[in-house]
């Protein structure tokens, strides 16, 4: 049976993208090299169409960070090589990675809410800690603590005699929560948004606050609503698995 060729517009329509985007996908190597007819027209096949749909499915979600995005890139490259079984294995690995990130982010948000409801109003340790000791105990650098302070995540009291920072129990616990949330993938903006709400005395639904950018946050990244991003990535990974399985079944 002769090969059925498709036009650029056919691929664009199937993937819901502009024809120029299809041409970019060709340049970027997201679909296999394309032969041309004697008259110069691109000769796309079903393989090209499958790769376009797959790439579009992966890239239409918010950028989830370099580590997770690398999974998507590898899935696409396996598909370009027509190795759909390897693409399926990588898609399942991607789904596992997203679920692990989601569990970590969800656990961190739950710990946050429990901590916020049970803060003990002890002003300081018996002896306030210096920044060097605080950084050592938390396993972070002094510059990182200073950066969190510059970004408004914490306000640290100072020694009136020498202006050194003094970290009491409240400051230390707040830093511990900041470290936990940052390591779980939340952005400084998301953490700041949550603390502003908490410092007003509102300790209910902090998990939702952490995941919901304000209307005045005109430009925000995936980590500003990290739980939503990860849930979307999970749905996308499941959809990618379905697409690849359908492709394998079609032969």
Residue 52 domain flag: yes
Per residue in 218-251, pLDDT (tens digit) is 667 889 999 999 999 999 999 999 999 999 998 7
SS3 assignment, position 68: helix
> What local confidence, expressed as pLDDT, does residue 185 receive?
94
Tokens 């779980």: give the residue. Answer: 184
Domain residues for the domain of 36 are 1-60
The whole-number pLDDT of residue 121 equals 57
pLDDT in tens, 173-219: 999 999 999 999 999 999 999 999 998 988 888 999 999 988 777 66
Residue 36 domain flag: yes
The mean pLDDT of 95-114, rounded to a whole number, is 95
- Does 94 reside within a domain? no
**CA distance linking residue 123 with residue 171, whole number of Å:** 9
Domain total in the chain: 1
Q: What is the pLDDT of residue 107?
A: 96
199: left (phi over 0), alpha (psi -120 to 50) or beta: alpha
| Inter-CA distances, 199 with 109, 152, 193, 194, 223, Å | 17, 12, 10, 9, 22
Q: Is residue 240 part of a domain?
A: no
Kindly report, residue by residue over 37-77, the tens digit of the pLDDT. 888 888 899 999 999 999 999 999 888 889 999 999 999 99
Which residues are 165's β-sheet partners?
Answer: 158
pLDDT at 122: 53
The answer to whether 144 and 135 are in contact (CB under 8 A) is yes
What stretches of the chain show up as alpha helix (H) in DSSP? 8-15, 19-28, 46-59, 66-80, 84-117, 131-138, 142-150, 169-183, 188-199, 206-210, 226-250
pLDDT tens by residue, 130-171: 999 999 999 999 999 999 999 999 999 888 888 888 898 889
Which CATH number does the domain housing residue 45 bear?
A: 1.10.1660.10
> Is 179 within the bounds of a domain?
no
Task: Find, among 39, 207, 195, the residue nearest to 113 by Cα.
Answer: 207
Closest to 144 in 3D by CA, of 125, 157, 131: 131
Question: Is 175 part of any domain?
Answer: no
| Residue 210 forms part of a structural domain | no
């Amino acid at each position: 049976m002769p090969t059925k060729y498709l036009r650029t517009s056919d691929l664009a329509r199937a993937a819901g993208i502009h024809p120029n985007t299809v041409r970019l996908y060709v340049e970027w190597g997201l679909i296999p090299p394309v032969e041309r007819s004697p008259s110069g027209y691109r000769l796309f096949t079903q393989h090209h169409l499958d790769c376009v749909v797959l790439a579009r499915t992966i890239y239409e979600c918010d950028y989830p960070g370099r580590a997770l995005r690398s999974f998507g890139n590898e899935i696409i490259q396996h598909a370009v090589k027509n190795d759909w079984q390897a693409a399926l294995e990588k898609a399942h690995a991607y789904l596992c990675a997203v679920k692990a990130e989601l569990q970590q982010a969800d656990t961190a948000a739950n710990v946050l809410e429990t901590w916020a409801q049970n803060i003990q109003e002890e002003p300081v340790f018996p002896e306030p800690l210096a920044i060097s000791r605080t950084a050592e105990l938390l396993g972070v650098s002094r510059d990182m603590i200073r950066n969190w302070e510059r970004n408004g995540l914490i306000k640290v009291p100072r020694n009136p005699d020498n202006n050194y920072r003094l970290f009491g129990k409240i400051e230390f616990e707040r830093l511990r929560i900041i470290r936990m949330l940052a390591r779980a993938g939340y952005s400084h903006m998301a953490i700041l948004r949550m603390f502003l709400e908490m410092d007003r005395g509102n300790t209910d639904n902090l998990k939702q606050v952490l995941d919901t950018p304000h209307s005045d946050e005109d430009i925000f990244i995936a980590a500003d609503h990290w739980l939503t991003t990860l849930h979307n990535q999970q749905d996308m990974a499941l959809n990618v698995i379905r697409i690849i399985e359908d492709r394998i079944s079609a032969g």
